[in-house]
Structure 1
Amino acid sequence: MLQELRIKDFAIIEEADIDFQAGMTVLTGETGAGKSIIIDALGLLAGGRGSVDFIRKGAAKAVLQGQFVLPASAPVFQILDDLGIDHEDQTLILQRDLYQAGRNVCRINGVLVNLTSLRKVGEMLIDIHGQNEHQSLMRPETHLSLLDEYDHHLRDELRRYQDAYQQYRKLKTALDKREANEKEWAQRLDILQFQLNEIESAQLVPHEEEKLIEEKDQLDNYQTIHDALENSYQALMGENVDVIGQLGTTMDELEKISDLSSDLNGIYEKVSDAFYNLQDVSHEINNQLDSMEWDENRLDQIEQRLDLIHQLKRKYGDSVQQVIDYGQKIKQELAEMQDSAESSEEQEKAVKTAYDSAYKLAQTLSSHRHQAAHELEKAIHQQLSALYMDKAVFKVKFSGNQELTSTGLDNVEFYIQTNPGESMGPLAKIASGGELSRIMLALKTIFSQQQGVTSIIFDEVDTGVSGRVAQAIAEKISQISQNSQVLCISHLPQVAAIADHHYFISKKVIDGRTGTSVQKLTAQTRIREIARMLSGSEITELTLKHADELIQMADQIKNKKG
C-alpha cells in the first residue's frame, strides 16, 4: 500500500507530507482546493506524462516522493530484479523531480531509472480511475487477461498452453531459419567447425602464455644470466677470491674463543650463519649453472607458440582463458546445430506434432474461457444490480484467431447494454457519466483482488449520482478497499461517511500566494465536514446530526460485512 506521499513545489502545493493507511481513505474539500492535484502527483509518480506547468511558480523544480509497503510476494519485485534494483526489505520508494528546463529525473529505491521503467513499476502499484479517462478496465487489450485472472483454473491452463506454444515456436523458428537460408546455415556450420578445430588443435592451457614469456625472457638473456652466475660463483669460491674459504677460516678462529664470553659466542654464531648461508647459495648458483643449457630450437618453439597464441587471441579473445571459453561456447552451439541438422522431413514432422499439441490445449483453454465468461457475466450482473443497474446486460464477446498466438485462439472484449431496447456495444464506447462510474465499480469489485494493484485511486467517479445510487457506490468502494488500499476524491457525503480515514483539502492565500494544505480529520471535525457536504456553507444542528447518523450507518454496514 501507499504509506507516505511527499509533495514539494507542485502546482499550488508548496509542501505536503501525507501519511496513508490501509483500507479506504477519502479526500474532500471545496472545489478548486487542490484535491485532484494530489491525484495528479500520484499519476506522475507512477510514470504519467509530466509538464513544466506542474512546477509551482517561482520554484526551480517540483519533487514527488512515494513510499510503498508491499507483501514479499508482490509481482513488482520481479520487475525490480529485472531492472537490477535492490529491495532488501518490503519497502519501495519512488521519486520524480520535474525541472523548469523540461528535464525529468526518476528514481526507484534511490537508483536512477528512465521514465519507461518508472511507468512499468508504477502501473503495478497505482491504478487511477477518473471520471473521463480510459483506465485499465476500459482498454480492450486487457480484457482477455482479466478473464484469465478471474478463474485460477484458466491461469493454470494458460501456463500449460504457453509452454506448449513456446516449444512449437522454437521448433518452427528453427525450421523457418533453416528453410529460409540453408546456405547461411551450412556456412555457419563450416565457420564454427573451423574455429573449433583451430582452438582445440592448439591445446591451450590456462596461464600458459605467462610461463612461456618467462621462459623466453630467460633464453633471450641466457648469456647475461650465465655470466652473472659464473662471476658470483667465482667471487664466492674462486681460485683468486675465495670468500667462503676465508669466512670458514674466520669461523674456525672465532670458535676457539666462543666459549669465553657471550659476546664472543654471539659473533661466532653470526659468522657461522653467514658461512653456511653463503655455502648454500654457492651450491644453488652452481646447480643453476649446471642446469643451464642454450637451446636455440627451444627458443624457436616458444616464439612459434607465442605467435600462435597471439593469433588466436586476436580472433577469439583478449586472453588464453577467453579463447578457451569461446571454444567451449561455439562447441555447444555447434552441437546444437548438428543436433538440429536432421532432415527437413523430420523437422517438419516435429513442428506439426508440437503445433497439434499446442492447438489442442488452445481449444481446451478456449472452451473453459467461454464457461468462465458465463460465470463472470453473472457476477458482473450481480454487482450492477447492487448499483441499481439491474436492467444492464454485460457480455464477454469472443472473436477467434486464425492462427495460434501467445494467448491462444481467443480475442475478448467486454460489451454492455445499459438499458433495455438500446444496442449492445463495446464497454469503452457505450457507457458514459454516472453509468460509467457504476460499471467501473462493478468491474473493479470483481477484479481488484486478482489484479494485485497496491493502491486504487478513484477521482470523482461518483459524479452525477445521488440518493440510493450514491449510497450503493459508497458501499461498493468500501467493499473494494477490503482487497486493496483505496484513495477516493468525492463530493458525496455517503462516500465520505463510509471511509476509514478522512483528509480535508483546503486552499489558503498567504502573503499573496495561493497554497493547499492537507488536514487529517478527527471524529468531530469529520462530522462537521460531512455536514458541510450535505448542506453547503451553512451548517446547522440538524445537518450535524444527519452527518453523525450517516457515519453511524456506515459503521453498521462495514461491521455487518466484516
Structure 2
Amino acid sequence: MLTNLSIKNYALIDHLNVKFTNGFTIITGETGAGKSILLGGLSLVLGNRADLSSLKEKDNKCIVEAEFEVSKYGLKPFFEANDLEYEEKTIIRREILPSGKSRAFINDSPVNLGVLTQLGERLIDVHSQHQTLKLGENDFQLKVIDALADNEKPLQAYREDLIVYQKTSKELDRLINFQKTAAKEHEYNSFLLEELSAAPLKEGIVAELEEQYEELNNVEVIMDQLSHGEQLLNDEQVGVLNLLTQLKQTSSKLSAFGNQYQAINERIISVFIELDDISGELNQFQERLEVNPQLLEEVNGKLQLLYDLLKKHKVQDVSELIAIKEALEKSVSATENIDADILAKKKELQLLEKELNARAQHISNNRKSVIETLKEQLAASLGELGMASATFKIEINPSKEFMSSGKDDLVFLFSANKGSAYGELKRVASGGELSRIMLAIKAILAKYENLPTMMFDEIDTGVSGEISTKMGAIMQEMSKTMQIFSITHLPQVAAKGKYHYKVYKEEELLGTNTKMKKLSEEERVVELAEMLGGKTISQSALAHAKQLLN
C-alpha cells in the first residue's frame, strides 16, 4: 500500500508531499493541471527511465520518494535475494542529478533499475490506456486463467523443471556437436597420444639422459682417468694412501704428548678415511663402466625423440609435454566414450520430458476446469457495464512446444454483440469496450490474487455517465480488499471514492507550480459540481453533486 509520496523539482512540481491511506482514492484536476506529471514522478520510483528534461530547476537534483506498507505482499524472499534490508514500511527513493545521472535506493541501499522495476511491479499496478493493449496478449490472458485455476505453485514447479530440461537439452546438443567435430580430430589426436606415450616422459628426464649420454660417449677417457686416480691413491711406493698410513703412524705417536697433537692425529685419520672411501668409489666406477655402443645409441635415440617432441609441440620443458599428453588422453577418451555419453543424456532427457509433460498436463487441466467460470464472471461484470451481449470464446489446445507458460495454445476471442463474429480483442473491441473489459478482469483477479495497489489512469475514457457509475462501483468494491486509485474526469466515478485529491496549477513569482490537496466534504461537492457543469457552478450542479456523493 502506498502511504506517502514526495516529489521535489520534477517537471512543474517544486515540492509535493502527500499522504495516502487504504481504500478508494480519487484524483481529479483540469486538463493540463499535472495529473500525468504526478504519474510520471511515481513511475520513476517504479523503475521507469529518467530524463534530464524532467528537472524543474536544471541546477538542482530531482528527488522522488515513496513509502509503502509491504507486510502483506510476502516480499521477504525478494529482499533477501537482492541483499536488501527488509522493512514493513519500505522507502523507495529515486534521484536525477543535474549531470543527467540517475540513482535509486531501497531502504537507503543503492540498487539498479532492474531490481527497482521488479519491486515496483509487485507494489503498484498502474493501469493506463496503453496497458489495455495487454488484453490481446496470450501471456496476459493465460495469467488471468491461471489466477482462477490456482496454478501459481504448479507453474513454479513446471518452470523449475523446464530450466533443467533446457539445460540438459543444450548439453545433449553440445555432445552431438562434439561428436561431429571430434570424429575428424580423433585419429590425429590418437596418433599424437601414441607418440607421446612412447616417449619416456617424466620430470628431469632430459637432464638425466644428457648426463648418461655424456658418460657413455666418453667412457674410455673416463676409465683412463679413474685408473690413473686409483693408481695415485694406491701405488705401493708413492701412493697417497700408503704415505698417509705412514703419516698416521707418526701422528699416533705424537698424540700421547698433548691435546694439540691429539687433534692433529684425529684430522689425519679423518683424511685417511675419506681418501680410502674415495678409492673404493673409484674402484666401483671402474667395475661399473664398460664400452656399450648399443646403450649409447639407445640413450641418444631417447634424447632425440624428446628434442623432436619439444620442437614439434613448441614447448620448452617435458612438464609441458606431460600436460599435453594428459589433455590428449581426456580428448581421446571423451571421443571414444561419446556414444555412451550421448545415450545416457538422451535417456535423462526422456525422463525429464515425461515429468515435464505430466506437469504441463496438470496445469492445462486446471485451466480447462475454470474456463466456464471465467466466461460467466466476465459476462456478469460486463453486463453491469452496459455490455449485456458481450461473450467470449476461450479454448485451450495442446501445443508441441514447451513454453514458459506450459504446453497450451490459447484461443481468446470476443464478440461485443449478439450474432457478431468472434475476433481478437484488439481488433474487434473499441477503446471504451477494452477499458471496461480490463476493469472487469482486474476485478475478477482481485478475488483470486493478493494484488498490489492499483492505479487506474482514466480507465473511464469513452464511456457514458451511467456506465461510469457502474465502473466506479466496481472500483469501490475492489477497494474493500486493496488500495485503489482512480484518475478520472467523470464525476460519477469521482463520487464513489472514499478520499478525493485535486491536482491544480498555481502561478507564482518564479513560475507555474503543480500542487495537490486533499478535499474536504464541502470542497468535494464544489469539485464534482465543476466536473458536472464547468467553472460557473449552478444550484442544480451543486444539488446533483450532493446527490452523487450521497
Q: Do Structure 1 and Structure 2 share a fold, with TM-score over 0.5?
A: yes
C-alpha separation in 2, matches of 1:351 and 1:443: 39
The aligned counterpart of 1:486 is 484
How far, CA to CA, are the matches of 1:48 and 1:450 in structure 2?
28
Q: CA shift at 1:79, angstroms?
A: 2.6
Residue aligning to 1:104: 102
Secondary structure (helix, strand or coil) at the match of 1:362 reads helix
Report % sequence identity. Answer: 31
CA shift, 1:483, in A, is: 3.0
Tell me, what secondary structure is at the counterpart of 1:181? helix
Over 3 Å counting, the alpha-carbon distance change for 1:145 and 1:25 in structure 2 is same
Decide whether the 8 Å contact of 1:462 with 1:470 is kept in 2: yes
- Counterpart of 2:44 in structure 1 is 44
Partner of 1:28: 28
Residue 155 (structure 2) aligned to one of 155, 158, 161? 158
Any idea what SS the aligned residue of 2:495 has?
Answer: helix
**Pairs within 5 Å for 1:257-272:** none
C-alpha deviation, 1:410, in angstroms: 0.9
- Structure 2 regions of 5+ residues with no counterpart? 187-337
TM-score, structure 2 length as denominator? 0.66
Do the aligned partners of 1:3 and 1:68 also contact (CA within 8 Å) in 2? yes
* Equivalence for 1:241: none
**For 1:84 and 1:136, how far apart are their aligned partners in 2?**
32
Structure 1: gaps of 5 or more residues: 188-339, 553-562
Name the CA shift for 1:388/1:70 in 2 (closer, same or farther; >3 Å): same
Partner of 2:471: 473
Which residue matches 2:78? 79
Shift in alpha-carbon separation, 1:345–1:51, aligned structure 2, 3 A: closer
- Structure with greater Cα Rg: 2
Alpha-carbon distance in 2 for matches of 1:33, 1:116: 31
Alignment of 1:26-425 (within 5 A): 26-72=26-72, 74-87=73-86, 89-134=87-132, 137=135, 139-152=137-150, 154-162=151-159, 165=162, 168-169=165-166, 172=169, 175-181=172-178, 345=343, 347-398=345-396, 400-412=398-410, 414-425=412-423
Structure 1 counterpart of 2:199: none
Per the TM alignment, residue 529 of structure 1 is displaced from its structure 2 partner at its CA by: 1.4
Instruction: Evaluate the alpha carbon distance shift between residue 123 and residue 163 of structure 1 in structure 2; reply closer, same or farther with a 3 A threshold.
Output: closer
The 1:363/1:31 distance shift into structure 2, 3 A limit, reads same
Report the residue type matching 1:386 in the other structure: E
Report Cα offsets for 1:63-117 as digits up to 9, x if no partner. 1111000125x24433322221111x31211111123432211111111122222
User: Residue 494 of structure 2 aligns to which amino acid in structure 1?
Assistant: A
Aligned partners of 2:125 and 2:455 also within 8 Å: yes
The 8 Å contact of residues 379 and 390 in structure 2, kept in 1 or not, is answered as: yes
Shift of 1:22: 0.6
The match for 2:237 is: none
**SS at structure 2 position matched to 1:474:** helix
Judged with a 3 Å threshold, the aligned counterparts in structure 2 of structure 1 residues 357 and 29 are, in CA distance, closer, same or farther, namely closer
Using the TM superposition, give the Cα deviation of residue 350 of structure 1 relative to its aligned residue in structure 2, in angstroms: 4.2
In 2 relative to 1, CA 164–51 (structure 1 residues): closer, same or farther, beyond 3 Å?
closer
Q: Aligned-residue CA RMSD in angstroms? A: 3.0
Structure 1 residue 454, shift from structure 2 partner: 2.1
| Cα distance between partner residues in 1 of 2:480 and 2:130 | 25
- Secondary structure (helix, strand or coil) at the match of 1:158 reads helix
Letter in 2 for 1:155: E
Offset from partner CA, 1:395-446 (integer Å, 9 cap, x none): 3344543233343211336432223454433334443332122111111111
Contact 1:143 1:413 in 2 (8 A): no
- Which residue in the other structure is 2:540 paired with? 542
C-alpha contact 1:129 1:135 (8 A) present in aligned 2: no
Contact 2:502-2:519 within 8 A present in 1 as well: yes
- For 1:9 and 1:58, the matched residues in 2 are separated by 9
Q: Offset of 1:345 from its aligned partner?
A: 4.4
Q: Kindly tell me: are residues 413 and 7 of structure 1, through their superposed partners in 2, closer, same or farther at Cα, counting changes over 3 Å?
A: farther
TM-score (ref. length: structure 1)? 0.65
8 Å contact from structure 1 (residues 373, 396) kept in 2: yes
Task: Give the count of matched residue pairs.
Answer: 399
Q: Does the CA-based 8 Å contact 2:128-2:456 persist in structure 1?
A: yes
User: Is contact 1:128-1:135 (8 Å) kept?
Assistant: no
Aligned partners of 1:34 and 1:79: how far apart in 2? 34
Residue 498 of structure 1 aligns to a residue in which SS? coil
| Aligned equivalents of 2:455, 2:489: Cα separation in 1 | 15
